[in-house]
Amino acid sequence: MQEVLSRARLQHVRLERGRSQALVIPACAPPADPGRRHEIALVLRSMLARLTGDAPASLRLERTGQGKPTLGGPAGLAFNVSHSRAYSLIAISSAGDIGCDIEDRFGDEDVMGLCPAVLHSSELDAMERLAPHERQDAFRRYWVRKEAVLKAAGSGFLRDPRHVVTGLDRPSATWLGEQGPAFVIHDRRIEAGCLAAVASMDAACSWHLLDG
């Protein structure tokens, strides 16, 4: 979590066997701004096109019944996208489903109000053992880890996040009451107050900060 993000230009990012790729992109506008969404969509298409060898305009970006974005056709690549106030995050894998999340919100009142709706009882107990000044950062880490796993599974927070136990540093999640995919969780601190996570079938994840 303390490693410095390597700076990379888009054309230099490689998808290595056994590694997911996470591309962190500084924001040009608020998350809901159409211009920002369009810019990230262009970056995504450019990256997928380079990895597949297809023209960007020919790529078929589709959605599952639960709304998860997918790449149509036989390319064998999975991707996911997330936005915080200061950054966007694109994650790509050739090993199967992938999910990601990046977060720089949540004040103390948010944490108090959301913890019971998001955390399993064992995670609530762990939060209680933390010093008050540590809980905001810990909750962000819980949140991104859980959302990355749930997005990789295809449901996002449509599924009760209390039923997937990620802890703060478990290598993978435990599914309660059902069998779930064995996603590996890769998380990083992007900067103070901003955390991100990727959940994939890959054993490792390479993190890059887009540099122009």
Mean pLDDT of the 187-208 span:
96
The answer to whether 117 and 70 have CB atoms below 8 angstroms apart is: no
Please, are residues 15 and 21 in contact by the beta-carbon 8 Å criterion? yes
Read off the pTM: 0.95
**8 A C-beta contact, residue 36 and residue 28:** yes
Residue at 119 is within a domain: yes
Distance CA 11, CA 47 (A): 8
DSSP string, 69-130: EEE-SS---EEEEEE-SSEEEEEEESSS-EEEEEE----HHHHHHHHHHHS-HHHHHHHHTS
Asked whether residue 11 is assigned to any structural domain, the reply reads yes
Range of the domain at 205: 6-210
Q: Kindly report the CATH number assigned to the domain that includes residue 157.
A: 3.90.470.20
Q: How far apart are CA 211 and CA 159, in angstroms?
A: 36
In a domain, 1, yes or no: no
Angle between helices 121-128 and 108-118 (to 10 degrees): 150
With beta carbons less than 8 A apart as the criterion, state whether 148 and 154 touch: no
Question: How many C-beta atoms lie closer than 10 Å to residue 161's C-beta?
Answer: 23
Token match 């996470």: residue?
22
Is 19 within a domain? yes
Average pLDDT in the 39-65 region?
A: 93
Structural domains of the chain, count:
1
Contact 200, 97 (CB under 8 A): yes
| 14, part of any domain | yes
Identify the pLDDT of residue 1: 47
Q: Where on the phi/psi map is residue 106: left (φ > 0), alpha (ψ -120 to 50), or beta?
A: left
Distance between CA 134 and CA 80 in Å, rounded? 29
pLDDT in tens, 67-111: 889 998 878 899 999 999 999 999 999 999 999 999 999 999 999
Q: What are 110-126's pLDDT values in tens digits?
A: 999 999 999 999 999 99
pLDDT at 3 > cutoff 70:
no
Contact (CB, 8 A) for 146 and 118: yes
Decide if 160 is inside a domain.
yes
Residue 212 has pLDDT above 90, yes or no: no
